[in-house]
Structure 1
């Protein structure tokens, strides 16, 4: 037996006109299929992103803005049965999260789906390329034609919305500032107040959640579950970025070899414009000048155009510039090789090297060919063309090597403020065992190496761990153990090999990407009762980190016996002046 549900009925039935009634049956088979689909969506959302570095304001989750734009434009999707494709490899993206996703599907109460928009033109041309109908046997030709016709129908359901800005040559720099640094017109003290209120709202919501799950925390007179200290300001608010990734795309004048930043999102908007960073005052002047030099190279030397889409046409994607406090620069040119021969690539590398080798500001020059939106060095290596392999930076008196793929906080002076706050919150002693979870290149572990007994640092990126080991060696540290793997898999095994007498004073520092920690990792920390203090650092505390906060404080289920954590202090640190984002450090304890 199965039940039949009336989903919708055309209003014209009342007037006596022909009508359509939509019916759907719900059997156990359908329910199981829905459950599998939901599990698959969860797995898709948990895919690893290769580069989790905090970036501009536009790089943080803008799903609310996107949904608002869709609503305002009155876009409605009905009866979408499936998502086309598995992965949108599109060179248009400059956002880590969007870089690996084709679409995000959300169900509403009426079983309608809102499908994130994709570049329609790209998909049609990509389908034509991958499904030729003129080659092969007659059966193959018919089969491929049917595939293309079916996919084209699905693509037609997708609509790109207009760019919400009336951008032109006069206002393009102001619009770029609004996109990347939306608080640029606000006095800095007002920015700090705004960020304090933002953190207070998150903690207030957190307190309500703790009451719902019966956590024993006491809400203070401000309605917060813990003390919220004042925002630690950035020592430098202009030209503070030590890393910029400049895209190559048509500019306001239509020149396809314009170097700058996107206004608009190709997955959402009908029009995307690349705007030069001339008046973006959080970017170093030297970075702007080098981006201009790269633009000259593209327009006057290189025979290759910008990469419009992966697997379709064009080559040049972006220029990455990294620098240190000594004004030494690392340059990384990135292009999609498409169908270029080895000889053609070598010729382009030679031209690129010759053009930049005479610039005294450049200490390290790289060339990176990538057929994917993001690639690790092990899959598609960086070609070192000239200069040193790394540049060096000093943080709180310690030396760090920066390679092309290294994670390093983009605001060097503010990162020192951040690390001082974290070390203060740890309250570490000489006998302390430190767990540095999601350690990246090991910056915090190295800073704490001489202050604690032993450090166990875990990160899922092999290249990050290799950088961390090199940095530890440069600072003559022997008590830091770096391990490659996920926290949920490595931590329990690691703790089993530690003597119980060393577990009396264990502090865990969690510094995940804005995707947060896996729930299995949080559960592992909860069940290790010797972990009495947890320091959680989040660049997006209203995202997945918030769920981690709640899970840390959730009382145990009946088959487990441990004390839940409670928040005791929170400190915001402004690493991103003129954006709406800041780091939030929350300290948890259990008694």
Structure 2
């Protein structure tokens, strides 16, 4: 059995989801950062657990054909990038395989209809947002950069190949100002000092730049000097703000903003729409690849202009709004109130008049929409890394959309959720990985599902009373006739109570007060659809 500090020779045969190479020693998997598939190397064991171990590359004996010279001197200790030592072609293969493996191993799928990964036009300078933690070095000087892997130890960084060059200029001007002003540095252990983070955003298309200083205080020493030095170093700058964060927390931004100069937002264009972006607003950090992702999602949605589109987990509305012109109606739902407000403002700013945005988590929003009778033709979901709640998927399936477009930032939770969708009468039609974050371990995926059996959906039909075996004089929307129609057309029995509930929901009559009957059953989804079909048949609703 291997133990800590053992040395062994091995070949790297695969990669983990986090970007480490995998080899074996004494039958145990060993994960080795900074390696590539095909490397023959000497590995030192640094940690042994029950079923696997972690190693460190000690000597590269025979390099993989995928290897290339890293273009960043701190790629290893920084930990933000894990693939700068291999070619981009190799990186895309790894990310494609990661998605496929998750779908096969977690989802249990075979013969997955996977399209080629959408690679980025550039591996460098693509991020439009940067947040640099600030701390003190051992000699008492300010350091600013990125946290080392699995720690809060700052790797002092003067340039990052993922960030635009304008951020480097702004950061150097900020460093120079701190030396001149003597403003104190935040100590997270003591919760003292002022400067916590330097936060920057830029518009790829607009060229606008916003610099935000996150501070454990409302005022900075030498604010006028800071504005002067930043504006001289960065002529593109359009706003300088202070974000006040007094909390003992790892959350970067506090709630309050104070503008030192210019405006507290930037503009940018995405999918022909213009967005106003504040420090708090969500906006995809790789705008070019976001357009590729949204265009693929729109292709999968297959909108013709006649559909109701539901955008769950809509954030500030970017995905839904990018498709709104192709839909009859857009409904967005998001749990964060400020994001919903931003979505509404974005819709108004872009003259989108067919959009409605609700505030609530996906489960509650889907239930509310279901209960008010909304039946979206297409549903787009872009959940957080943890994926969808099972109840959300069940409610989506009960709405019976023709297509579901799933945008995912985690292949594992995507695979888990797609497995539930297929159990809820949906088929996977296509899957496309998208490389939103070149150099890093992350990969986005967009998948489209379609309902398996249209025969199980209840399509409005026009059947005469004679066809139904009813006399013309009985063709009235009485409770008895509605129940009779449902049984003969859909093969199920419904009660007058359910009919009354549906009449009340459709505004056809006021349901009797049954508030004292706490055990009153609710009309099941399948019977609900059948009763609505009966209402259409009798001309009670459109």
Q: Tell me if TM exceeds 0.5.
A: yes
1:480 CA drift (Å): 0.6
Name the structure 1 match of 2:344: 469
Distance change (3 Å), C-alpha of 1:437 and 1:469: same
Q: Give the one of 252, 262, 270 matched to 1:395.
A: 270
Name the structure 1 match of 2:101: 201
Work out whether residues 315 and 336 of structure 1, in 8 Å CA contact, stay in contact via their aligned partners in 2.
yes
Separation in structure 2 between the aligned mates of residue 408 and residue 398 of structure 1, nearest angstrom: 13
1:327 CA drift (Å): 2.5
Name the structure 2 match of 1:356: 230
1:78-119 residue CA offsets vs partner (Å, 9 max, x unmatched)? xxxxxxxxxxxxxxxxxxxxxxxxxxxxxx99xxxxxxxxxx
Distance change (3 Å), C-alpha of 1:301 and 1:178: closer
1:551 CA drift (Å): 2.3
Aligned residues: 401
Structure 2 runs not aligned, ≥5 long? 1-16, 23-29, 33-43, 59-70, 454-542
1:455 aligns with 2:330: yes
Separation in structure 2 between the aligned mates of residue 578 and residue 175 of structure 1, nearest angstrom: 10
Aligned pairs for 1:496-535 within 5 A: 496-498=371-373, 503=375, 506-528=377-399, 530-535=400-405
Name the structure 2 match of 1:36: none
Separation in structure 2 between the aligned mates of residue 60 and residue 429 of structure 1, nearest angstrom: 40
Work out whether residues 19 and 82 of structure 2, in 8 Å CA contact, stay in contact via their aligned partners in 1.
no
Distance change (3 Å), C-alpha of 1:265 and 1:256: farther
Q: Give the one of 407, 410, 415 matched to 1:537.
A: 407
Separation in structure 2 between the aligned mates of residue 346 and residue 74 of structure 1, nearest angstrom: 45
1:182 aligns with 2:82: yes
Higher relative contact order (CA 8 A, sep 6+): 1
Q: Give the one of 551, 565, 569 matched to 2:430.
A: 569
- SS at 2:73 equivalent: helix
Aligned pairs for 1:190-269 within 5 A: 190-208=90-108, 219=110, 224=111, 226-251=112-137, 254-266=139-151
Separation in structure 2 between the aligned mates of residue 461 and residue 376 of structure 1, nearest angstrom: 17
Name the structure 2 match of 1:335: 215
Separation in structure 2 between the aligned mates of residue 165 and residue 391 of structure 1, nearest angstrom: 44
Work out whether residues 183 and 221 of structure 2, in 8 Å CA contact, stay in contact via their aligned partners in 1.
no
Distance change (3 Å), C-alpha of 1:402 and 1:312: closer
1:539 CA drift (Å): 1.4
Separation in structure 1 between the aligned mates of residue 411 and residue 115 of structure 2, nearest angstrom: 16
Aligned pairs for 1:399-438 within 5 A: 399-438=274-313
Work out whether residues 77 and 148 of structure 2, in 8 Å CA contact, stay in contact via their aligned partners in 1.
no
Separation in structure 1 between the aligned mates of residue 252 and residue 174 of structure 2, nearest angstrom: 23
1:540 CA drift (Å): 1.4
1:75 CA drift (Å): 8.4
TM-score by length of 1: 0.62
Distance change (3 Å), C-alpha of 1:507 and 1:469: same
Work out whether residues 133 and 154 of structure 2, in 8 Å CA contact, stay in contact via their aligned partners in 1.
no
Separation in structure 2 between the aligned mates of residue 369 and residue 233 of structure 1, nearest angstrom: 38
Separation in structure 2 between the aligned mates of residue 406 and residue 380 of structure 1, nearest angstrom: 12
Separation in structure 2 between the aligned mates of residue 165 and residue 366 of structure 1, nearest angstrom: 44
Separation in structure 2 between the aligned mates of residue 357 and residue 389 of structure 1, nearest angstrom: 15
1:195-229 residue CA offsets vs partner (Å, 9 max, x unmatched)? 22222212222452x6xxxxxxxx3xxxx3x3100
Separation in structure 2 between the aligned mates of residue 243 and residue 60 of structure 1, nearest angstrom: 22
1:578 aligns with 2:439: yes
Work out whether residues 247 and 274 of structure 1, in 8 Å CA contact, stay in contact via their aligned partners in 2.
no
TM-score by length of 2: 0.67
1:435-470 residue CA offsets vs partner (Å, 9 max, x unmatched)? 101111111121111110111101111111111111
Structure 1 runs not aligned, ≥5 long? 1-58, 77-107, 110-161, 211-218, 555-562
Name the structure 2 match of 1:10: none
1:375 CA drift (Å): 6.0
Name the structure 2 match of 1:297: 177
Name the structure 1 match of 2:353: 478
* Bigger proportion of residues as strand: 2
1:510 CA drift (Å): 0.7
Q: What RMSD, in angstroms, separates the aligned Cα atoms of the two structures?
A: 3.3
Separation in structure 2 between the aligned mates of residue 194 and residue 68 of structure 1, nearest angstrom: 15
Separation in structure 1 between the aligned mates of residue 107 and residue 200 of structure 2, nearest angstrom: 42
